Amino acid sequence: MLRSSAVRFSHFLPSLLLLLAGLAAAYVKDLNVFFTSLFNVLPTLVLLLGGAYCAVYRRQRELFLMLTVYIAYFLLDTQTDYYRDNGKVREDAAVVFHLVCLLLPLLFGLFAAWQERTHLFQDMVARFAVLLAFGSVALGLEQSYPQALLMWLSEIRWPALHGAWMSLIQMSYPVFLSAFLLLAWQYWRSPRPLHAAQLVGLLGLFWMLPKTFILPFTLNIMCSQVMLMIAAAVAHEAYQMAFRDELTGLPGRRALNERMQRLGRNYVLAMSDVDHFKKFNDTHGHDVGDQVLRLVASKLSKISGGGRAYRYGGEEFALVFAGKTLEECMPHLEVIRESIASYNIQLRNQENRPQDDQQGRQRRGGSGASSVSVTVSIGVAERVEQRTPEEVLKSADQALYSAKGAGRNCVMAFGQSRRGAVRMDSVAG
């Protein structure tokens, strides 16, 4: 549970930092010429760089989110520039501002929830069509019926729900709320850095709009920050794809190689392998095999003693203990080996899965489902003088083969005899 909470917090952290930085910058007074010039070009620069980044990686949802924010920025920036230069707003300022307050959360929520499920070109055409349709209708109404549109937008439809604190048109609040609930539900179903960035970005836009004509450069700063959140989320997910194993959620082989270069002088490496995994896969199927790998990974991720688990490949996992000795690590490895061996996996008919967690707990507690258990063998090696991390890992792998030869379901250190292996014979697999 704590690890899951930490992962979710890491999804939000970059966006929250960007949001806080944007809020702080918006309230700074008497900016010098450098920052004034920077904030004037920052949104366009972020769109060009971030949009190119998204286009290269074919992230069309993120690209259209940036484009939506930038269009809103361009429309409002034209109004704020006129206001700063002339000391008064343009004649169409109210209707343009109200349209942005209504359409920005609507399109942001729509594009954020619109996942890429079709051909890339068809998806791009469909998104452009939606953007063009909304833009064309809004522009046509604004040009043909400006006063009627302004009255319709600014009308208070629910007097009982209207508060003096509301600085936007009343209709924009349910649209913002609906978009927020939709994106919150999307994150709850599929926790991802992008979904977290969309939530935080929507909050930033909600804060920005009432301050557009009040705080200088609020529009420039917050629009830039929201687009940066989206670009940072793309980079975050690209990092996860490269360094994290999708099946188990553990850091992968590339992350292990990078960690091994920063271990220092004293460390212990361990290699763990699921016993008889190929036979288990052939007997119960690959779906159950994947379930076993996720179980083992979950157990290994909770190892105590300062260890960190990595998916090495197949049914093999690596454990890294930085700044530890072999004697300090062996008890923790034995605890995790026994924890895996004593855990029973309930096998259920995939066509008759429970509909909720309560039914699942009742079935697991019953006797109707068959159960299986797996064991792991672990080989351990400690760094000695003039040995590289690759050599230590190779020694741990050799110790793993020795543990297999000793009957499996045991922990064996490099150079240790079979007689000295830590093992539970009663559940050896």
What is the DSSP annotation of 53-116?
HHHHTT-HHHHHHHHHHHHHHHHHHHHHHHHHHHSS--TTHHHHHHHHHHHHHHHHHHHHH---
Q: Which residues are annotated as catalytic?
A: 315
pLDDT at 364 over 60: no
CA distance 428 to 275: 9
pLDDT attached to residue 369 = 53
Calculate ∠ Cα 16-22-25, nearest 5°.
Answer: 140
User: Which one, of 98, 107, 90, lies nearest residue 152 by Cα?
Assistant: 98
For residue 171, pLDDT over 70 is answered with yes
Q: Is the pLDDT of residue 353 over 50?
A: no
Question: How high is the pLDDT of residue 102?
Answer: 96
Cα separation, 317 vs 252, in Å, equals 9
Q: Model confidence over 290-310: pLDDT tens digits?
A: 888 988 999 999 899 889 999
CB 57 within 8 A of CB 76: no
323 sits in the region (left: phi over 0; alpha: psi -120 to 50; else beta) called left
- For residue 319, name the pLDDT band (cuts at 50, 70, 90): very high
CA distances from 171 to 22, 142, 150, 158, 175 (A): 26, 17, 12, 9, 7
pLDDT at 26: 86
**Lowest-pLDDT range of 28-37, 52-61, 209-218, 403-412:** 28-37
Place of tokens 């019953």: 366
Question: In whole angstroms, what is the distance from residue 306 CA to residue 314 CA?
Answer: 24
**What is the C-alpha separation between 278 and 421, in angstroms, rounded?**
24
Q: Give the pLDDT score at 386.
A: 59
Is the predicted pLDDT of residue 357 greater than 50, yes or no?
A: no
Residue 253 has pLDDT above 80, yes or no: yes
Task: State what percent of residues in the chain have pLDDT above 70.
Answer: 89
394: helix, coil or strand? helix
Give the rounded percent of residues in the chain with a pLDDT score beyond 90: 51
How large is the average pLDDT for residues 117-126?
82
Calculate the average pLDDT of the chain: 86
State the pTM of this model.
0.74
Instruction: Report which listed range, 114-118, 171-175, 313-317, 413-417, is most confident.
Output: 171-175
> In terms of Cα–Cα distance, which of 237, 232, 225, 219 is closest to 18?
225
